[in-house]
Amino acid sequence: MIEVDELSKSYGRRAAVDGVSFRCERGTVTGFLGPNGAGKSTTLRMICGLTRPTRGRALVCGAPFRALANPGRRCGVLLDAAAQHAGRTGREALALSARIVGAPPGRVDELLELVGLAGPAARRRVGAYSLGMRQRLGVAHALLGEPEVLVLDEPANGLDPEGIRWMRRLLRAHADGGGTVLLSSHLLAEVERVADRLVVIAGGRVVAQGTRAQLAGAGDLEEEFLRLTDGARS
């Protein structure tokens, strides 16, 4: 459902992403892990057609994201929860997006309920939302078109422990229903409980990928994650 092949992005002489390759299969959650500045967000922006790669390619549902007809119906995206119109209410923002992707009006109420923003919260302006509420609204936007694929950048930022558990359940249910999730984070603990596979990036390069058991071997996964990322930065 997502194929990334030798994806690279350079700014002048600096390589922000260098030869990144991985696949996200149907029915799985892939955790895209790395420290801040590792190249995660740049990679996701290239996958979603927002940043043009220097070389390599990324396919979503078999085609470049920009080539998808009504991409919101195929791939739901949350890259920056702060990038929402602060003057609109949560309901207004979601209703406008629903019209753009062609989702039925009833989908708005369904999703506000799902993400915990129904009732008074839906009538508040987005500018008054906490970061956690913006994250929940961003997830609702990503789900509007009932897409097969979800691409989410640090979606647990600002969520309390119950919100993080809710996010894990939501993403696990999406994958178990046949969907595909690519989930980035700099925190191993946020991802390892829900991910089927892990892709670890550091210094713009993939330094390891595989299942939790494959990456940990006979040791501790957190120690291995720190070893991989510290080694790539040194």
Average pLDDT, the chain: 91
The confidence score (pLDDT) of residue 233 equals: 53
Contact 1, 61 (CB under 8 A): yes
Report, as an integer, the average pLDDT of 95-106: 91
Q: What is the pLDDT of residues 184-225, one digit of tens each?
A: 998 888 888 899 999 999 999 999 899 888 887 646 677 767
Phi-psi region of 49 (alpha: psi -120 to 50; beta: other; left: phi over 0): left
Report, as an integer, the average pLDDT of 11-36: 94
Domains and CATH numbers, the chain: 2-74+147-233 (3.40.50.300), 81-146 (no CATH)
The confidence score (pLDDT) of residue 133 equals: 94
Contact 178, 29 (CB under 8 A): no
The confidence score (pLDDT) of residue 148 equals: 96
Greatest Cα pair distance in the chain: 52
Q: Is the pLDDT of residue 234 over 60?
A: no
The confidence score (pLDDT) of residue 219 equals: 60
Tell me the C-alpha to C-alpha distance, in Å, between residue 61 and each of 29, 121, 179.
Answer: 15, 34, 11
Phi-psi region of 91 (alpha: psi -120 to 50; beta: other; left: phi over 0): alpha
- Identity of residue 34: G
DSSP single-letter state for residue 52: -
Report, as an integer, the average pLDDT of 109-132: 95
As a whole-number percent, the residues of the chain with pLDDT over 90 amount to 75
Bridge partners (DSSP) listed for residue 183: 31, 152
Question: What is residue 76's three-state secondary structure?
Answer: strand
Q: Is the pLDDT of residue 39 over 60?
A: yes
Bridge partners (DSSP) listed for residue 29: 181
Report, as an integer, the average pLDDT of 15-39: 94
Q: Is the pLDDT of residue 154 over 60?
A: yes
Euclidean distance between CA atoms 170 and 232, whole angstroms: 33
The confidence score (pLDDT) of residue 231 equals: 54
Euclidean distance between CA atoms 17 and 38, whole angstroms: 8
Q: What is the pLDDT of residues 103-117, one digit of tens each?
A: 987 999 999 999 999
Tell me the C-alpha to C-alpha distance, in Å, between residue 179 and each of 28, 61, 134, 139.
Answer: 7, 11, 23, 15
